[in-house]
Structure 1
Amino acid sequence: SGGVRGSGEAGGLRFEGVAFRYPDAPANVAPVLARIDLRVRPGETMALVGGTGSGKTTLTALVPRLHELTAGRITLDGEDIAAMPRERLRELVSVAFEEPTLFSASVGENVLMGAEGASAEELGRALDVAQAGFVKSLPHGAGTQVGEQGLSLSGGQRQRLALARAVVGQPRFLVLDDPLSALDVHTEALVEAALRRVLEETTALVVAHRPSTVMLADRVALLSGGRIAAVGTHQELLRTNEEYAWLMSGAGAVAKAGPDSEEGAR
């Protein structure tokens, strides 16, 4: 893939013996993540699939250090994230979560947050990838104030702006937590087509609940009971893993119709 660096053995995004428990969790409660060993190769897109409460959101939040590990380590191109200044970490890793946060600022300022020096052209490109054409029809376009003090947007609109924010700086690493859950099927298909081109230029971990999102990935990791239970292509896991086949079937998808309550609560 084009601009991807760090292609040696240490390259990419690695989880090595990663464990996590919430600091306030009782000692007798099992950790949210028990022992995660996973490698996303340089330039690869890895989908992360698991049932509600399996720890997917927690695992993705560890990469930008929204939570600190209990044990183990995470490396980006061989560099331990715990040893990095947060500013550098946030430059390397871009994230978009299922429940996006918009700040009291203009649309443009929200999207360009963390991508200082990005041009109007790059802003436009990011909005295009996220299929956020609705911005043009806002009262002041990209200058429209949104967030708590400004115009309130729909869930799908907020999600598209958060996705635009994640892709604007052509980040080296991209972490997406079910970033398309609030979109209608038509918009989702358009975003996926545009996102596919972005993913070719980066190393990405994408939490997925639907086969359509999984199809963006080169490989899939199944998270079950706080551990990585299987890694393979979508087709391999469909054939060899009952839990994965169930999650990807209608039954698994219906179980994930509402917000990811157990994980979202944290």
Structure 2
Amino acid sequence: MQLLVLASLAAYASAHATWQQLWIGDTDAGSSCVRLVPSNSPVTDVSSPDMACNANAAASAGVCTVAAGDEVTVEMHQQSGDRTCANEAIGGQHYGPMMVYLAKVDDATSAVGAQASWFKIHEMGLLSNNPDYFGNQVLNDNCGHYTVTIPSDVAPGQYLLRAETIALHTASGAGGAQFYMSCYQVEITGSGSATPDTVSLPGAYSASDPGILVNIHAQLDSYVVPGPTPYGFSPPAVATTAYPTTATWATALQPTTVPTVVPS
């Protein structure tokens, strides 16, 4: 029995992951503008300043430029520098929601995430309840890639872009939810002027939120994604048929190297 428990714990540990790369449209920006973290372990305390950009996240010298209204793709893998599609992005049945936030800042290379004001631009919770299929399962179907659109009307300037998934496999007990996030440093161009309502991180989540304290091993008909309502994006209704798992990312073209220089 003890060996089974240890094997299970090892599987959970090996399934930890980090957001590591960014794509701007079809351009691979690699790790050039991400605040990399030294560990793939999750944050579990919703009141910790680490909820903003993760624990000991190192600010990058790079700032990636993206136009308002364009697509960006965040990329997650279990081990640092690994881009192989042979391994799940976040394994061990670490199912849960996907979220992306923005925070407008004066200088993306020095801004403190826990002091920034955040607004959510994307979320995917329970996509299907027959069978249950969560937003972050899209990551595993697409070699760790998840694509979102920058709202076309946001004001230009420098931002932190925060990618987050929550692993809910042990979330039926208080403090069991695992939060995985990284911040990307971006310059958004355009002529928009929107300044959406914001929240603080930490502060936007409570350990007792129904989307954080939840048993996903029971059949779920619905799921409440933590945090504010996304700006400029309406999540789809929960499907009652199986969600398609065919990759929409060209996984056969996945690079093996990681660019470290901001694309020109």
| TM over 0.5, shorter chain | no
Provide the TM-score with structure 1 as the length reference. 0.27
Q: Larger % of strand: which?
A: 2
TM-score of the superposed pair, with normalisation by structure 2: 0.27
